Structure 1
Amino acid sequence: MPEGHSVHRITRQFARNFVGKPVRVSSPQGRFVAGAERLDGHVMTDAKAVGKQMFLEFDNGLWLRIHLGMYGAWDFAGDILMDATIASANGRMGQTNQRGTELDAGHGAVLDSAGENSMHSIGAPRRTRVRMAEQEKELGAVDTFPPEPVGQVRVRLLTDTVSADLRGPTACEVLDPGQVDAVIAKLGPDPQLDDGQAAEDRFTTTVRRKPTPIGQLLMDQSVVAGIGNVYRAELLFRARIDPHAPGKTLSDDTVRALWRDWAHLLAIGVKTGQMMTMDDLGGDEYVLAMRNRADRHWVYKREGLPCRVCGTHISLEEMGARKLYWCPSCQRPSAAAIDLESGMR
């Protein structure tokens, strides 16, 4: 499932290529004809993401809400103009890693082993086709525009120069402003929208009053918006938090540090297009990690392999109907949490 960084990157593509332009809206698949008719021909006036959900506003006051879910994806095609703020990590942009050191300018664009994270064209538009979902991949040149819809396209958004085709979303609906506000009100804070004290306080207060395991709370979009399975596992490992620890057993400092690390990792994801969660990587190591997913994470999808820190085999279990990866040694319950739990009995 696309996590928060992916949705923010997709939304910025709409802001760059669609906002301010009249948009033809259709439903090649035929399942969104009525909704498409309400938006067709109107100018797109705004594009924003909140967590895993995106909202596209039109000049008739209506919004298109999209939740990609497990299988959704957008295909952009045409003369795509990339926004430098969301271009993939490459030396020409001086992309920084977690420690703030700059990559060697000689590395050029960093592509992973699947050819993804390839959206590195800055400046003039380039006629191409790009898929944006959990990962991003350039699909090749566009010979004719607009291209024929491929597969089950729920919605096509089309300007004079760029098309965007939506496939397989969990949610796709037209909402009025009040309905949009109601949806957003149910979501937790998103540090890409607000990383100030109020958002941090809201997250901290919510977590610290819940008896629910922190591993489940981080996946609850009403607690914090945008975290999925990868970031859940990596954030908890980086903080050395037992995923089974009830939220209310965690200290105020621990929860606040968790929020700040999420803001930090989310910003990296938005900039690079990859969920890069490893620390202390120099230029060459960073490029290697960007190229290979196996070198990019501490615990995610490393079940049975030795922990990168202590050597204990990484565990895999199910939590909240999703796979949970964690290190039983590095993330063992803290003495403080045990004492608190004992005092509550």
Structure 2
Amino acid sequence: MPEGHTVHRLAAVFARGFGGQRVRTSSPQGRFSDAARLDGQVLLGAEAVGKHLFLPFAPSAEVDPADPSVRHVHVHLGLYGSWTFAGDPGFAGAHAIGAPRLRVGEREEESEGTVDWRRIVPRETVRLRIAGPRGLADLTGPTACEVLDAEGRQRVLDRLGPDPLRPDPDGSARRRFVEGIRRSRTTIGALLMDQKVVAGIGNIYRAELLFRARLDPFVPGRDLTAGMCEEMWEDLVALMAYGARTGRIVTTQPEHRQIEARIVERSRGTRQNGDEDPDVVPREESFYVYHRQTLPCRLCGTTVRSGEIAARTVFWCPRCQRVRSRRAGWTREHPAAPWALAV
């Protein structure tokens, strides 16, 4: 499932590729009947909140996004959803975002060479196609794809916790995060995956954030101090901002990357954007504990462990992550942030 930084990158792609343009919409799969009434409207832009994408449609580009006539296509990719793009050179800056998928028209390109994107026939699995003057986007396999009015959009937002990638000029998002953790008896490992506590965190950010904070994933949220939670929030904001900028999650310091540069791959592997680029940090060097169970910790050599919290696998180093409560004399000694480094 794409983590929050990926959805913010997706929103940026839509804003650049379609923002303010009149578009054609269709549902080749036939399961999104609302595509017909959106056809020919203007896509005003795009908004990401946690793992949710909102695409606002209006009769004209002059319509205020807050106008009651605006309808929002709400998309949650879930485990299997993906957007794939095709268009003029430089149109999207990405060929796919979401679960691994073939490029739009990839089969045709293999047999016939480069194909004009305007002639690409959508696959039968495409839930929604959006086509503009310079390119198109195909949505397949989403958990949610629906049209909402302003009230419906707000109901979705009301279910979500603060998003570290959205502006927080008055610090209210950070306060909500801190309060949501400290009032709960639930383990911090479970709270960080609860989208009502913080929107956009997935399993990678959860594991790496807790390692960097030296926190045991099984400590109850109410046992943490406000300072611990504030430091986690600040670290998370910067880590996810780096991810939104680069499309990659990298939490390791350069001097630690060659130490035990291995991960325990799943059958399909832990994929990141740009894995084929030799200039990016390889995924084997990107994480401290995520998918490194049974391997030595990069910092102390202790075997990294894995377990289950709320039906999801959690990864941690039992020696580095010994802090269990505010009574443990906690200090922030995690590695310097990779977003400030040349990665």
TM range (shorter): 0.7 to 0.9
Find the counterpart in structure 2 of residue 152 from structure 1. 125
Q: State whether residues 27 and 35 of structure 2, in contact with CA within 8 Å, keep that contact through their aligned partners in structure 1.
A: yes
Task: Report the alpha carbon displacement of residue 305 of structure 1 after superposing the two structures with TM.
Answer: 0.2
Partners of 2:324 and 2:192 lie apart in 1 by 19
The alignment partner of 1:46 has SS state of coil
Partners of 2:325 and 2:195 lie apart in 1 by 29
Map 1:122-133 to 2 at 5 A.
130-133=95-98
The alignment partner of 1:220 has SS state of coil
**1:268 paired to 2:242:** yes
The alignment partner of 1:328 has SS state of coil
**1:243 paired to 2:208:** no
Distance 1:136 1:296, change over 3 A: farther
Q: State whether residues 265 and 277 of structure 1, in contact with CA within 8 Å, keep that contact through their aligned partners in structure 2.
A: yes
What is the letter of the counterpart of residue 10 of structure 1? Answer: L
Out of 298, 301, 304, the residue aligned to residue 314 of structure 1 is 304
Residues 16-44 of structure 1 deviation map (CA, whole Å, 9 limit, x = unaligned): 01111111111111111x21122111000
**1:50 paired to 2:15:** no
Map 1:92-103 to 2 at 5 A.
none
Task: Report the alpha carbon displacement of residue 131 of structure 1 after superposing the two structures with TM.
Answer: 1.1
**1:78 paired to 2:78:** no
Map 1:255-334 to 2 at 5 A.
255-280=229-254, 290-334=280-324
**1:69 paired to 2:78:** yes
Residues 201-239 of structure 1 deviation map (CA, whole Å, 9 limit, x = unaligned): 111111110111000101011100100000000000000
Q: Alpha carbon RMSD of aligned pairs, Å? A: 2.5
Q: State whether residues 304 and 317 of structure 2, in contact with CA within 8 Å, keep that contact through their aligned partners in structure 1.
A: yes
Task: Report the alpha carbon displacement of residue 279 of structure 1 after superposing the two structures with TM.
Answer: 2.3
Between 1 and 2, higher relative CO (CA 8 Å, sep ≥ 6) is seen in 1
Mark the runs of 5 or more structure 2 residues left unpaired by the alignment: 59-68, 260-276, 330-343
What is the letter of the counterpart of residue 11 of structure 2? Answer: T
Distance 1:137 1:168, change over 3 A: closer
Greater mean alpha carbon deviation, residues 166-175 or residues 187-196: 187-196
Q: State whether residues 6 and 135 of structure 1, in contact with CA within 8 Å, keep that contact through their aligned partners in structure 2.
A: no
Partners of 2:323 and 2:130 lie apart in 1 by 50
Q: State whether residues 290 and 296 of structure 1, in contact with CA within 8 Å, keep that contact through their aligned partners in structure 2.
A: no
Mark the runs of 5 or more structure 1 residues left unpaired by the alignment: 88-118, 120-129, 340-345
Aligned length: 293
Partners of 2:168 and 2:291 lie apart in 1 by 29
Q: State whether residues 28 and 123 of structure 2, in contact with CA within 8 Å, keep that contact through their aligned partners in structure 1.
A: no
Greater mean alpha carbon deviation, residues 330-339 or residues 227-236: 330-339
What is the letter of the counterpart of residue 116 of structure 2? Answer: T
Distance 1:335 1:247, change over 3 A: closer
Find the counterpart in structure 2 of residue 25 from structure 1. 25
